[in-house]
Structure 1
Amino acid sequence: MTQETRLDAVKLDGSGPIYDQIRRAVRDLILNGTWPPGTSVPPEHALMEQLGASRMTVHRALVQLAREGLITRRRRSGTIVASPPASHAMLDILSIPAEVEKLGRRYDYTVLSRANGRPTAELSLRFGLKRGEKIIHLVALHRADGKPHVLEERVIHLATVPAAAQETFETTPPGDWLLGHSLWSQAEHAISAIPAEPDDAQLLDIKPGEACLLIERKTWNQDAPVTAVRLLYPGNRHRFIGRFGPYGEV
């Protein structure tokens, strides 16, 4: 799609302030799929000439679109249509491949590290483990269209799920494997906002200190612990939603 084609697509409807007409025109092109994520938005000077508007008017419209999360403005590379944030039901036991595929993106993942045995003191503190427990400790990076989607750190309790000791997790992510090979009767969730540590930021392709959403989940089968996981999502790419009625989620 050439810049001229994109300019021709911006049509004002004549209703209300010019900046808001520009905002609505660009917004509608994004929401109806005419300008998909990653599309370059015409620069301010081109929109000024095409629409006969002042720089301040065009700038105001684009700033508002950026605030709404529809476009991303970068000094050197210009303005592009933003990728829509992923939405999640807050308390679901998530299948990350299904989550990515639901967004219409290609899923893949890599197991970055795996260790079997007893937890270190640091790991025991992070996951609330007993030092004598036998566990698998996994770190995996999940990607959407080749870009980091979520960083997963997980422990699996081998006393509850002994079959996990023989599983490589090379073709099936740990969470999906557990859903098919273990039972759970209780789950605990905690959601918080944290700054990205340097090592995590590098893996997620974000800046150190950038806001992330952390989901911490533990599951049990009766009183026996099954797994505990920390899922770290880049905060500007995700939002979490839930709809509930008097008798639970609907």
Structure 2
Amino acid sequence: MTQLANAGLVLRRRKTGSIVMPQKSQTAILEIKDIREEVTARGGIYRHEILTRSTRPATDSDAARLGVDAAQPLLVLDCLHLSDEAPFCLEERVINLSVAPEAAEESFAAMAPGVWLLRHIPWNEAEHRIAAVGAQAPVAALLDLEAGTPCLVMERRTWRQGEPVTAVRLTYPGAANTLSARFTPSQG
């Protein structure tokens, strides 16, 4: 029941019991997938590399993006995911070291940051935002694209018991990727 309440599916009240909450028909549940699995499912050979890594206090921009206080200690990573040695996805991630202090010592050589977080830091809430954007020059260069090339961008934030864990921006070349979801109609 606690998990159902945390997911917003039931409302628990003392002395009166639990009730099933009405669900919004616009709500879509998206999975947090392992990019390695995405690549291998397409028949590719997966590899990732950490491009940049720094530990620093949160800037005002970081604080707004992740929902932490300014000066909160963060691990900031850029990771390139490859399929058959071609760029597949650029991962730009900030990790709240107050919630995940062990991430500061992790090399992420054997396991990409997203998978490491899924296996080591349990979360109970996530938010996705998905957009089509033209690749800015620095991102386009990393993905081996022309500047302005359409890309699929997924921004995600996760929380553990109300504390922000991570914020990530995943940029995929648009021509090679689609987003699909399977769902059922809401029960009005």
Length-normalised TM-score, structure 1: 0.60
Task: Look up the match of 1:103.
Answer: 42
- Alignment RMSD, CA only? 1.9
Say how many residue pairs are matched: 160
Length-normalised TM-score, structure 2: 0.79
The secondary structure found in structure 1 opposite 2:179 is strand
Letter in 2 for 1:107: Y
Structure 1 counterpart of 2:172, from 223, 226, 233: 233
Tell me by how many angstroms 1:185 deviates.
0.4
Structure 1: state its 5+ residue gaps: 1-88
The answer on whether the counterparts of 1:90 and 1:240 sit within 8 Å (CA) in structure 2 is no
The secondary structure found in structure 1 opposite 2:107 is coil
Q: What per-residue deviation string (whole Å, max 9, x for no partner) do you get for residues 178-227 of structure 1?
A: 11101010000000011111111011011001111110000111101111
Higher helix share: 1
Tell me by how many angstroms 1:101 deviates.
0.7
Structure 2 counterpart of 1:202, from 137, 141, 153: 141
Tell me by how many angstroms 1:133 deviates.
1.1
The answer on whether the counterparts of 1:90 and 1:241 sit within 8 Å (CA) in structure 2 is no
Task: Look up the match of 1:33.
Answer: none
The answer on whether the counterparts of 1:111 and 1:169 sit within 8 Å (CA) in structure 2 is yes
Structure 2 counterpart of 1:224, from 139, 155, 163: 163
Tell me by how many angstroms 1:105 deviates.
0.4
Letter in 1 for 2:102: A
Task: Look up the match of 1:189.
Answer: 128
The answer on whether the counterparts of 2:40 and 2:46 sit within 8 Å (CA) in structure 1 is yes
Structure with max Cα Rg: 1
Tell me by how many angstroms 1:175 deviates.
0.5
Tell me by how many angstroms 1:117 deviates.
2.1
Query: Deviation above 2 Å: which 4+ runs of structure 1?
Result: 119-130
Tell me by how many angstroms 1:172 deviates.
0.8
Task: Look up the match of 1:170.
Answer: 109
Tell me by how many angstroms 1:139 deviates.
0.3
Letter in 2 for 1:223: G
Task: Look up the match of 2:84.
Answer: 145
Task: Look up the match of 2:181.
Answer: 242
Task: Look up the match of 1:214.
Answer: 153
The answer on whether the counterparts of 2:122 and 2:160 sit within 8 Å (CA) in structure 1 is yes
Aligned counterparts of 2:140 and 2:63: Cα–Cα separation in 1: 23
Aligned counterparts of 1:237 and 1:156: Cα–Cα separation in 2: 28
Aligned counterparts of 2:53 and 2:148: Cα–Cα separation in 1: 26
The answer to which structure, 1 or 2, has the higher relative contact order (CA under 8 A, 6+ apart) is 2
The secondary structure found in structure 1 opposite 2:104 is helix
Task: Look up the match of 1:180.
Answer: 119
Aligned counterparts of 1:203 and 1:157: Cα–Cα separation in 2: 25
Higher strand share: 2
Structure 2: state its 5+ residue gaps: 1-27
Q: What per-residue deviation string (whole Å, max 9, x for no partner) do you get for residues 82-117 of structure 1?
A: xxxxxxx97110101111111110000110001112
Structure 1 counterpart of 2:32, from 93, 101, 105: 93
